[in-house]
């Protein structure tokens, strides 16, 4: 079997550990045993190294300007050579943050935000009321801007939106403490303690805007790692006289994606109705960032470079490597199938994960269905879409399942139900034609991907696939459909509140068409109590799949979190906070990389 187990909880590598190591509130000197020497030649264009060591000395005021007090006369020479003041540590963190922002101007990663608005139900439990969804590209060549992916609404239907003036541009602000004004002139810095996040030792520092810093500022706590002075996490909220009644609090995390650099990866945002902290949470969102290395995306490397010197029809001002991918521009005939080309195109657009272990796990479930039904269908394979909305579809003999759908499926039997439906389409020959290639006329922008591909089937084909999938399941090891029935019941109960989560961007809407013929199973769960802690209908978002923001590779979390202690904490399809396990890209020994610390 595939080894998938029921899960519930944080996800995204949420084996997070946080340990405080020092509680001193008045640090004087950082001690650094040595220097970390790696990547300096390769990244020399990033600017001077941030390892400048200041003379040891007592800090008169940790919120003072950059001038430093002279070292005490009795300070040992060795300590003076290997120590840095708290002010110098803060200055290095500010300088490194500027380097990160400057570096991000060379990248245009994918930024995805999914929002849920909650309200108390009849039993005073929080349950979803509405949802919203943004998918964009981050572009820092000017101000913080995002370029949205185009969206095609199925059957002329306009999706409901949360009645809130919250834009994708606003959510992008939480990727940085303050993109333009993170410095001593606008903020004060106060040391709190040393703390270990995952495997990374960090200085915890509180920052507040100065009185003369203008109308907008950030009140937050930041975590700065002790080797390269990167901000790896910051948690707080923006303060402004112009901010309305809603007070947004965010928790922003970064991962070590390249030597010396920690890039934005996750942001969890929530707000309360009004500014009273005693009010209940009403709005929650998860923001994910990936696709930093799209230049090298794709299984077929020859498609990741121009195929002719001057292909006719390609925009000469193009900024996306994917616009060079058309097989039509190749000087030789391509040997790849149509579904190969589409899978490749979606990878280079940052929408599909590379081939990996998760695909093989899905393939194992498909093989179980084929073998037990005595079917021999060659070339069937599975791939994973990186987006959150729940959807699955087929491209020729390729079954595609979204990351968000894998997150919420409670167990392997429910996964088998989803895969059986798509496998039925392949068996029935619904995907053998090339109708999904009708708009596949490159070049086109990555942002038009949703409008160029259509993997939808008509209602009659969906009904046929549902009927066939029930036969496949009945003859398989997944014939016990109890968990599948619970999942279908959860979909039924949440379909009106979560239209954006259940809306397929490439395929039919998941709740209204996929598995629609299996509603008889849902009726068998009619007496099921959705909030019983011993019954898991659907997991929270982010509880199963972890995405590498640099390479887009994914992995399935193996540890099954403990069940929720109370019914209040059990919310199917819930948006939950991120707690990634932080570790360095390449762990160095202390002989290679010195740690910065201070003495009281």
Three-state SS across 97-115? HHHHHHHHCCCCCEEEEEE
Per-residue pLDDT, 595: 47
The Cα–Cα gap between 234 and 253 comes to: 7
Checking if the pLDDT of 63 tops 60, the result is no
Check: CB of residue 76 under 8 Å from CB of residue 55: no
The Cα–Cα gap between 326 and 97 comes to: 38
Angle, helix 412-427 to helix 459-474, in steps of 10 degrees: 120
Contacts of 73 (CB under 8 A, 6+ apart): none
User: In terms of DSSP bridges, do strands 187-197 and 145-148 run parallel, antiparallel, or are they unpaired?
Assistant: unpaired
The Cα–Cα gap between 400 and 4 comes to: 18
Structure tokens at 283: 């709005």
Q: Looking at 25-29, 259-263, 477-481, which range is the least confident one?
A: 25-29
The Cα–Cα gap between 487 and 390 comes to: 13
Check: CB of residue 2 under 8 Å from CB of residue 532: no
Residues 189-208: pLDDT tens digits?
999 999 999 999 999 999 99
Q: Looking at 230-234, 396-400, 482-486, 546-550, which range is the least confident one?
A: 482-486
The Cα–Cα gap between 432 and 422 comes to: 13
Checking if the pLDDT of 392 tops 80, the result is yes
* C-alpha distances in Å from residue 422, one per residue of 24, 131, 426, 466, 571: 58, 27, 7, 9, 27
Residue 339 is inside which H or E element, if any?
helix 338-348
DSSP symbol at 352: B
Q: What is the CA radius of gyration of the chain?
A: 26
User: Binning pLDDT at 50, 70 and 90, where does residue 444 land?
Assistant: confident
User: Binning pLDDT at 50, 70 and 90, where does residue 300 land?
Assistant: low
100-121 per-residue burial string, b: 16 or more CB within 10 A, e: under 16: bbebbeebbbbbbbbbbbbeee
**Mean pLDDT value of segment 391-403:** 93
Percentages helix, strand, coil for the chain (3-state, rounded to 5) are 25, 25, 50
User: Binning pLDDT at 50, 70 and 90, where does residue 384 land?
Assistant: very high
The Cα–Cα gap between 543 and 561 comes to: 9
Per-residue pLDDT, 491: 87
Neighbours of 533 (CB within 10 A): 15
Dihedral pair phi/psi, residue 136, rounded to 5°: -145, 175
The CB-based long-range contact list for 148-153 (8 Å cut-off, 24+ gap) reads: 148/447, 149/446, 149/447, 149/448, 149/449, 149/450, 150/447, 150/448, 150/450, 150/451, 151/450, 151/451, 151/505, 152/450, 152/451, 152/505
* C-alpha distances in Å from residue 270, one per residue of 155, 250, 494: 33, 6, 21
Checking if the pLDDT of 71 tops 90, the result is no
Chain centroid offset of residue 248 CA? 19
**Mean pLDDT value of segment 537-559:** 89
Q: Looking at 222-231, 310-319, 413-422, 542-551, which range is the least confident one?
A: 310-319
* C-alpha distances in Å from residue 357, one per residue of 40, 382, 384, 477: 33, 11, 11, 22
* CA proximity to 196, closest of 188, 204, 205, 184: 204
Residue with tokens 């998918």: 135
More confident residue, 525 or 55: 525
The Cα–Cα gap between 27 and 24 comes to: 6
Q: Looking at 98-107, 237-246, 463-472, which range is the least confident one?
A: 237-246
Planar angle of CA 252, 97, 195, nearest 5 degrees = 55
Q: Looking at 36-40, 96-100, 226-230, 447-451, which range is the least confident one?
A: 36-40
* CA proximity to 385, closest of 369, 402, 371, 360: 402
| Surface-to-core class of residue 7, CB atoms within 10 Å of its CB (0-12 exposed, 13-18 middle, 19+ buried) | buried
């Amino acid at each position: 079997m595939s080894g998938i187990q029921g899960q519930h909880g944080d996800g995204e590598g949420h084996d997070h550990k946080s340990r405080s190591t020092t509680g001193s509130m008045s640090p004087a000197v950082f001690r650094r045993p040595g220097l970390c020497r790696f990547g300096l030649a390769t990244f020399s264009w990033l600017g001077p190294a941030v390892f400048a060591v200041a003379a040891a000395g007592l800090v008169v005021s940790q919120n003072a300007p950059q001038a430093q007090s002279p070292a005490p006369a009795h300070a040992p020479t060795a300590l003076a050579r290997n120590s840095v003041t708290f002010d110098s540590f803060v200055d290095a963190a500010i300088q490194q943050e500027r380097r990160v922002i400057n570096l991000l101007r060379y990248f245009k990663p994918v930024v995805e935000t999914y929002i849920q608005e909650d309200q108390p139900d009849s039993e005073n439990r929080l349950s979803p009321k509405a949802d919203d969804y943004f998918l964009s590209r981050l572009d820092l060549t000017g101000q913080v801007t995002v370029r949205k992916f185009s969206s095609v609404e199925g059957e002329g239907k306009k999706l409901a939106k949360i009645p809130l003036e919250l834009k994708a541009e606003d959510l992008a602000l939480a990727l940085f403490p303050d993109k333009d004004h993170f410095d001593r002139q606008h903020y004060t810095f106060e040391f709190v303690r040393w703390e270990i996040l995952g495997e990374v030792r960090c200085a915890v520092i509180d920052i507040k805007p100065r009185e003369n810093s203008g109308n907008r500022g950030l009140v937050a706590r930041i975590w700065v790692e002790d080797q390269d002075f990167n901000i790896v996490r910051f948690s707080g909220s923006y303060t402004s006289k112009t901010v309305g009644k809603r007070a947004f609090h965010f928790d922003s995390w970064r991962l070590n994606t390249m030597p010396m650099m920690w890039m934005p990866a996750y942001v969890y945002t929530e707000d309360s109705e009004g500014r009273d902290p005693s009010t209940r949470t009403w709005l929650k969102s998860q923001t994910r960032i990936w696709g930093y290395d799209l230049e090298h995306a794709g299984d077929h490397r020859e498609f990741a470079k121009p195929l002719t010197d001057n292909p006719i029809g390609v925009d000469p001002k193009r900024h996306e490597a994917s616009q060079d991918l058309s097989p039509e521009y190749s000087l030789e005939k391509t040997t790849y199938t149509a579904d190969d080309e589409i899978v490749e195109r979606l990878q280079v657009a940052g929408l599909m994960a590379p081939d990996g272990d998760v695909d093989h796990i899905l393939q194992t479930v498909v093989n179980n269905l084929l073998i037990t039904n005595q079917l021999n269908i060659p070339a069937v394979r599975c791939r994973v879409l990186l987006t959150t909305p729940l959807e699955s579809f087929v491209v020729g003999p390729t079954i595609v399942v979204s990351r968000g759908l894998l997150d919420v499926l409670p167990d392997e039997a429910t996964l088998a139900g989803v895969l059986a439906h798509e496998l039925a389409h392949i068996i029935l020959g619904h995907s053998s034609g090339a109708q999904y290639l009708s708009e596949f006329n490159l070049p086109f922008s990555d942002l038009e991907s949703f409008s160029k591909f259509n993997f939808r089937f008509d209602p009659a084909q969906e009904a046929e696939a549902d009927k066939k999938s029930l036969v496949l399941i009945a003859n398989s090891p997944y014939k016990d459909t109890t968990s599948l029935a619970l999942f279908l019941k959860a979909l039924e109960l949440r379909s009106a509140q979560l239209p954006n989560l259940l809306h397929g961007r490439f395929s039919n809407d998941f709740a209204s068409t996929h598995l629609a013929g299996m509603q008889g199973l849902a009726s068998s769960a009619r007496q099921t109590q959705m909030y019983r802690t011993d019954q898991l209908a659907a997991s929270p978002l982010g509880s199963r799949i972890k995405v590498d923001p640099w390479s887009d590779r994914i992995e399935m979390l193996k540890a099954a979190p403990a069940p929720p202690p109370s019914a209040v904490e059990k919310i199917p399809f819930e948006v939950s906070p991120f707690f990634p396990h932080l570790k360095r890209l390449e762990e160095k020994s202390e002989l290679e990389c010195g740690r910065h610390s201070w003495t009281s």
